[in-house]
Structure 1
Amino acid sequence: MGEDQTMKLRKIVSGGQTGADQGALAACVQKNFPYGGWVPKGRRSEKGKVPHKYRMRQHWSRHYPPRTEKNVLDSDGTVIFTFGRPDGGSLLTIDFAKKHKRPWLAVDLLQPRCAAVAKVVRWIRRRLPDGAVLNVAGSRRSKAPGIHMAVKKVMGEVINREGGSGRETDQVPPRNTRKARKGRRG
């Protein structure tokens, strides 16, 4: 992407679950890229609670499907990362994207990372508007060990290519300090 082109991605949202969701959030934190999204009430995840280092909004429901649907609705498109075919919550995410006529892309991370990055970047450029909000979903850690790091690496490269850097926004995640946590709302 050339310096004079508009940046395709403005923000990444996720549901905060272990695995693919938190892998995308970790990439955003590492790249200082704007992120957000809805998590179940109580910050519920399969491992207990979504870590507070991730600045997320709590949905009124403690169940996963309502926050999944809200993240689909609040984004311009959804990428679903899995090892193999989508199942469980990943299929539900696809169903919500179809229901609300939002573009979606399933990415099997059994393919080489460079191929996964190229597939996501090509899809973003073809299907999403400039300044898009991208929802990232996929397998949870217990169903796909290693997916957190795989998604973090892929999304880190996607952010490098489609997210730009140094843009001012009120959604940039705060540093891990008490003062920053008290001063901002997710």
Structure 2
Amino acid sequence: MIVSGGQTGADRSALDWAIARHILHGGWCPAGRLAEDGKIGPAYNLKETPEAQYLQRTEWNVRDSDGTVVFSTRPDLSGGSLATMKLVSQLGKPGIHLFKSQTPSENATQLCRFIRKHEVKILNVAGPRASGEPQIGPFIHSIFDELFENWE
């Protein structure tokens, strides 16, 4: 199962990828289904947190998953992506940051090892908004495509 907060960019790309392949998806989003581009549509199977704060939904997605992957096209994290990795550490959950320094196949191999090592059944996906890193969606799709095409 893939979960995320439904924000544009990394979150939404992961959910779109899962929906297109009939893979279970879900997660927490802020009250009012808030996102950078307005209200998150009903196609996304997300539950609303009591508060309209991004940090609360981030924490709840980390808390309720078996592991978190933060994707980015750059090696340094900032904003919500950095906050996500801090929450991963604070909550004692497994987490990995994958960025565009390797091929999709190499990143998929790293993600596969992470999933197997930590027995991840519910994977939380996080990363930058589309406005911050417009190429994050194709990057995530290429890694997930590699991962699931070669899953044994």
Range class of TM-score, shorter chain: over 0.9
Any gaps of 5 or more consecutive residues in structure 2?
none
**Unaligned stretches of 5+ in structure 1?**
1-10, 165-186
One of 66, 72, 76 as aligned partner of 1:76: 66
Give the greater-gyration-radius structure (CA).
1
Residues 105-142 of structure 1: per-residue CA shift (max 9 Å, x gap): 0000242211111111111112225xx11101011111
Match of 2:11 among 16, 21, 27: 21
- Alpha-carbon distance in structure 1 between the residues aligned to 2:46 and 2:136: 21
Q: 1:160, CA displacement in angstroms?
A: 4.4
Q: Cα gap change, 1:107/1:101 in structure 2, threshold over 3 Å: closer, same or farther?
A: same
Q: C-alpha offsets along residues 39-81 of structure 1, whole Å, 9 cap, x if unaligned?
A: 0111101111222211211111111000000000000110000
Deviation, structure 1 residue 161? 4.6
Give me the TM-score of the superposition, normalised by structure 1. Answer: 0.76
Instruction: Compare 147-156 and 54-63 and name the one that shifted more.
Output: 147-156
- Secondary structure in 1 matching 2:32: helix
Question: What does residue 40 of structure 1 align with?
Answer: 30
Asked whether the equivalents of residues 26 and 45 of structure 2 are also in contact (C-alpha less than 8 Å), the reply is yes
CA-CA distance at 1:31 after TM superposition: 1.1
Q: Which amino acid aligns with 1:17?
A: Q
Identity %: 36
Partner of 1:153: 142
User: Runs (4+) of structure 1 moved beyond 3 Å?
Assistant: 159-162
Contact 1:27 1:153 in 2 (8 A): no
Report whether the alignment pairs 1:108 with 2:62.
no
Question: What code does the residue aligned with 1:27 have?
Answer: W
Tell me, what secondary structure is at the counterpart of 2:96? strand
- Larger relative contact order (Cα-Cα within 8 Å, sequence gap ≥ 6): 1
Structure 1 range deviating more: 77-86 or 106-115:
106-115
Partner of 1:61: 51
What is the DSSP-based 3-state SS (H/G/I as helix, E as strand, rest coil) of the residue aligned with 1:153? Answer: helix
Distance change >3 Å, CA 161–CA 13, structure 1 → 2: farther
How many residue pairs were aligned? 151
| Residue 134 in structure 1 maps to residue 128 in structure 2 | no
